[in-house]
Copies of this chain bind each other. A is one copy, B any other.
Amino acid sequence: MSDNRTAALKFAQDNQARFLDELKEFIAIPSISADPTHKPQIQAAAEWVAAKLTALGAANVAVMPTGGHPVVYGELMAAGPGAPTIAVYGHYDVQPPDPLDLWETGPFEATQRGDNLYGRGASDMKGQIMASLNAIEAVLKHGGLSVNIKFLIEGEEEEGSPNLAPFIEKHKDLLACDFALNPDSGMLAPDLPTISYSLRGLAYFEIRMSGPAQDLHSGQYGGVVRNPANELARLIGGMHDASGRITLPGFYDKVRELEADERKELARLPMNEAFYLDQTGAPVLTGGEQGFTPVERAGGRPTLDVNGIVSGFIGEGQKTVLPAKAMAKISMRLVPDQDPEEVHGQLIQYMQENADPGVTWEVVFMSKAVASMAARDSDGVQAVSQAMESVWGTRPVYMRVGGTIPVVGDMQQILGADSVLVGFGLPDDNLHSPNEKLHLPTWQRGIDTLIHFFFNLEQ
Contacts and interface: CB of A to CB of B under 8 A. Distances in A.
Interface string A305-338: 1111111111101111111001111010100000
A384 interface: no
A307 B312 contact: yes
Q: Which of A235, A297, A307 has the most CB of B within 10 A?
A: A307
Nearest to A404: B219
A280 B241 CA distance: 34
Contacts of A309: 229, 233, 309-312, 314, 326
A323 B330 CA distance: 12
A331 B306 CA distance: 23
Nearest to A273: B224
A161 B220 CA distance: 19
B233 A298 contact: no
Interface size on A, as a range, is: 35 or more
A312 to B, nearest CB: 4
Q: Which of A213, A223, A234, A317 has the most CB of B within 10 A?
A: A223
A122 to B, nearest CB: 21
A289 interface: yes
A79 interface: no
Contacts of A317: 366
A117 interface: no
A236 interface: yes
A357 interface: yes
A18 interface: no
A139 B326 CA distance: 54
Q: How many copies of this protein are present in the complex?
A: 2
Interface in A328-366: 328-329, 331, 333, 356-360, 366
Given A202-B320, A204-B320, A312-B309, A286 B218 contact: no
A321 to B, nearest CB: 5
A1 interface: no
A307 B281 contact: no
A357 B234 contact: no
A342 to B, nearest CB: 19
Given A222-B298, A297-B224, A314-B329, A237 B238 contact: yes
Interface of A: 200, 202, 204, 211-214, 216-227, 229-230, 232-240, 276, 279-289, 294, 297-298, 301-315, 317-323, 326-329, 331, 333, 356-360, 366-367, 401-404
